[in-house]
Amino acid sequence: MTQTSNAASQIQMLDSGYSREARSLLYQAYRHEPTFRYLFEAQHRGYEQRVRATVRELVKQHFLQDLPALGLLVNDRLVGIALIAPPQRRLGITESWAWQLRMLLSTGLRCTRRYLDYHQAVQACVPGDAVHMLPLLGIHPEFQGLHYGEQLLEAVHNWCAEDKHSEGVVLDTGNPHYQDFYKRQGYVEIGEVAIGPVLEHVFFHANPQVLHTETA
Backbone angles phi, psi at 161, to 5 degrees: -65, -20
Confidence (pLDDT) at 115: 95
- DSSP per-residue letters across 22-74: HHHHHHHHHTT-HHHHHHTTTTSTTHHHHHHHHHHHHHHHHHHTT--EEEEEE
Q: Who has greater pLDDT, 21 or 89?
A: 21
Q: Where are the domains of the chain?
A: 9-206
Q: Which residues pair with 76 in a beta bridge?
A: none
Q: How confident is the model at residue 28 (pLDDT cuts 50, 70, 90)?
A: very high
Q: How far apart are CA 190 and CA 92, in angstroms?
A: 23
Compute how many other C-beta atoms are within 10 angstroms of the C-beta atom of residue 70. Answer: 21
Radius of gyration, CA atoms only, the chain:
17
Share of the chain above pLDDT 90, in %: 81
Q: Coil, strand or helix: which one is 2?
A: coil
> In percent, how much of the chain has pLDDT > 70?
89
Q: What is the pLDDT of residue 6?
A: 53
pLDDT at 93: 60
For residue 129, the model assigns a pLDDT of 84
* Domain 9-206 fold: Aminopeptidase (3.40.630)
- How far is 50 from 144, CA to CA, in rounded Å? 24
pLDDT exceeds cutoff 70 at 59: yes
| pLDDT tens string 68-121 | 999 999 999 999 999 999 986 555 566 678 888 999 999 999 999 999 999 999
pLDDT digits (tens, 9 = 90+) for 128-149: 889 999 999 999 999 999 999 9
With bands split at pLDDT 50, 70 and 90, how would you rate the model's confidence at 52?
very high
Minimum mean pLDDT range among 82-91, 152-161, 170-179? 82-91
